[in-house]
Amino acid sequence: MLMYLLYLLFMIPLCFMKGMWYLVQNFLFFISILYMMNMDFFCWGSLSYFFGCDYLSFGLVMLSFWICCLMILSSYSVICYNYYKELFLFMIIFLLLMLYCTFCSMNLMSFYFFFEGSLIPTLFLIFGWGYQPERLQAGIYLLFYTLFASLPLLLGIMYIYMSSNFLVFSLNYVNDYINMFLYLSLILAFLVKMPMFLTHLWLPKAHVEAPISGSMILAGVLLKLGGYGLLRVYDCLLSIGMKMNLIWMSLSLVGGFLVSLMCLRQVDMKALVAYSSVAHMGLVIGGLMTLNIWGFYMTFIFMIAHGLCSSGLFCLVNISYERLGSRSMLINKGLMGLMPSMSLWWFLLSSSNMAAPPSLNLLGEIGLINSMVGWMWLMMMFLMLISFFSAAYTLYMYSYSQHGTYYSGIYSSVSGYCREYLLLML
């Protein structure tokens, strides 16, 4: 546990040396492989008072390492224009440090501290390396939505400490609170982070304005922080959760359906992928709120699958954005004639986004649907609609971007580079 923390801390000075970009990238790949090899099959591995790691946090830390490696691999334009690349690397390492500490915290208080700390480097990534001047508004949205909901979380944690004198996750199941205000304050911050429908307005803004690395880490890991936090705090909220969860489930499923309809009207490809992740996270919230074993396991699987799949789609959108200088569906046409080998990746990632076999998304989606229908069969209506429309908007994105006559201004552009194929394959 401490080994990886020190490894990341000692990589921070490397960021500020000359010509260290590729070295840092290779070191990150190395640490992710090290971490994968080092999995110990205990309940809480490398146990100390504050940090420990079980299966849930293992998978998500693995995802964080992996996506941070791919963030550096995808942000080639930062080196090309030499745009503060040392600070960029520092931000990525700092964010990875925060995420690692978040997922390995055993204490609610330190979890809260790192959970909010991961917001800071993300904000700097959006402010510093974003594309349009509207990124200031997007950053303010992100900041205020998440901070507004996270003060009650701090108060809830303090209340738990006052009433039970401990904050350790693994002892959480001892308590069973039936306090309505505590329930809302603990759960709201994670629902905003997920994001649940009605609190999702910051997400498309932040995605559209963020650089590609910001989009990848947002879609890949930061949305998973909400699900991870819910899985952790639900231990002590079971009995009131049984009463209240129908509200959140119905809200997230109806919201997922409405967001899927909005996806069919998008012109900006990045906004389409961002809204699609809101719809998918609606499924995750619904499955988690059933509080049964299918829901818990499949939430985890679907979070990992969605993290890999949607960050891959953001990479593809960025690749065509670097070629054509636009993310509009009206200009990104006929890419099959321009980059035929890229079309394979478009097809694979689109099909896994609409949960076609043999993707992990299929397994997660079937499990989540199973848990919700087993809990209440009326959910079937909205689940059918969400599944249908998610296939519909993914096909719309794929067919519009790959087929058709291509825009006449792009005859001078390059096909895919080797590094991009490597990035998509990973």
Instruction: State pLDDT tens for residues 266-302.
Output: 999 999 999 999 999 999 999 999 999 999 999 999 9
Position 170 in a domain: yes
Total count of residues recorded for the chain = 426
Average of per-residue pLDDT across 170-186? 86
Position 176 in a domain: yes
Q: Do 213 and 75 share a structural domain?
A: yes
Average of per-residue pLDDT across 221-231? 95
- Residue 232, C-beta contacts closer than 8 angstroms, at least 6 positions apart: 111, 169, 172
What does pTM read for this prediction? 0.92
Cβ 292 vs Cβ 375: under 8 Å: yes
Which residue matches tokens 């520092």?
A: 90
Average of per-residue pLDDT across 388-404? 93
Q: Do 271 and 196 share a structural domain?
A: no
Average of per-residue pLDDT across 15-34? 89
Position 242 in a domain: no
Domain boundary among 236, 257, 276: 236
Residue 45 predicted with pLDDT over 60: no
- Residue 190, C-beta contacts closer than 8 angstroms, at least 6 positions apart: 153, 225, 226, 227, 229, 230, 233
Average of per-residue pLDDT across 389-405? 91
Residue 426 predicted with pLDDT over 80: no
Position 252 in a domain: no
Average of per-residue pLDDT across 1-20? 88
Domain that holds residue 14: 1-236
Using DSSP, state whether 179 is helix, strand or coil.
coil
> What's the pLDDT at 319?
85
Cβ 141 vs Cβ 206: under 8 Å: yes
The two tokens of residue 339 are 């980059």
> What's the pLDDT at 236?
87
Residue 412 predicted with pLDDT over 60: no
For 315-329, give one letter per residue: b (16+ CB within 10 A) or e: bbbbbbbbbbebbeb
Residue 94 predicted with pLDDT over 70: yes
Percent of all residues in the chain with a pLDDT value above 70, rounded to a whole number: 93
> What's the pLDDT at 41?
58
Q: Do 207 and 111 share a structural domain?
A: yes
**CA 203 from centroid of its chain's CA atoms:** 11
> What's the pLDDT at 323?
81
Cβ 7 vs Cβ 31: under 8 Å: yes
Q: Do 280 and 168 share a structural domain?
A: no
> What's the pLDDT at 322?
83
> What's the pLDDT at 275?
96
Which neighbouring-strand residues pair with 51?
105
Residue 1 predicted with pLDDT over 80: no
Q: Provide the domain count of the chain.
A: 2
The two tokens of residue 344 are 């394979």
Position 258 in a domain: no
Average of per-residue pLDDT across 233-246? 90
Using 50, 70 and 90 to split pLDDT, how confident is the model at 405? confident
Average of per-residue pLDDT across 315-320? 88
What tens digit of pLDDT does each residue of 369-387 get? 999 999 999 999 999 999 9
Q: Do 282 and 346 share a structural domain?
A: yes
Q: Do 316 and 220 share a structural domain?
A: no
- Is the backbone of residue 404 left (phi > 0), alpha (psi -120 to 50) or beta? left
Using 50, 70 and 90 to split pLDDT, how confident is the model at 410? low
Using 50, 70 and 90 to split pLDDT, how confident is the model at 159? very high
Residue 362 predicted with pLDDT over 70: yes
Domain boundary among 193, 220, 236: 236
> What's the pLDDT at 82?
80
